């Protein structure tokens, strides 16, 4: 399992993302990292589609 420490993300974006995860699961513990991974994977997928599209 990897570890990710991020700097430079806006406080507003982080709060909005945490709120999304909290609303979806009713908690942050154990699921926040999973949702970050999903978001990164989706971003990479879309970037690849744009590059090859």
> Does residue 22 belong to any structural domain of this protein?
yes
Q: Stretch 1-8: mean pLDDT, rounded?
A: 91
Residue 53 in this model has a pLDDT that exceeds 90: no
What's the CA gap between 13 and 10, in Å, rounded?
Answer: 5
> Does residue 3 belong to any structural domain of this protein?
no
> Does residue 20 belong to any structural domain of this protein?
yes
> Does residue 31 belong to any structural domain of this protein?
yes
pTM value is: 0.85
Q: Stretch 9-34: mean pLDDT, rounded?
A: 98
**Cα dihedral 8, 45, 40, 26 sign:** positive
Domain count of the fold of the chain: 1
pLDDT for residue 39: 98
> Does residue 36 belong to any structural domain of this protein?
yes
Alpha helix positions (H), 3-31? 11-25
What's the CA gap between 24 and 16, in Å, rounded?
Answer: 12
> Does residue 45 belong to any structural domain of this protein?
yes
The DSSP symbol for 48 reads H
> Does residue 6 belong to any structural domain of this protein?
no
Q: Are 4 and 36 in contact (CB under 8 A)?
A: yes
Q: Stretch 22-38: mean pLDDT, rounded?
A: 97
Q: Which domain holds residue 40?
A: 11-52
């Amino acid at each position: 399992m990897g570890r990710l420490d991020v700097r430079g993300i806006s406080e507003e974006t982080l709060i909005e993302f945490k709120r999304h995860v909290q609303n979806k699961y009713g908690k942050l513990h154990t699921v926040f990292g999973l949702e970050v991974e999903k978001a990164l994977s989706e971003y990479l997928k879309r970037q690849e589609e744009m590059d090859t599209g």
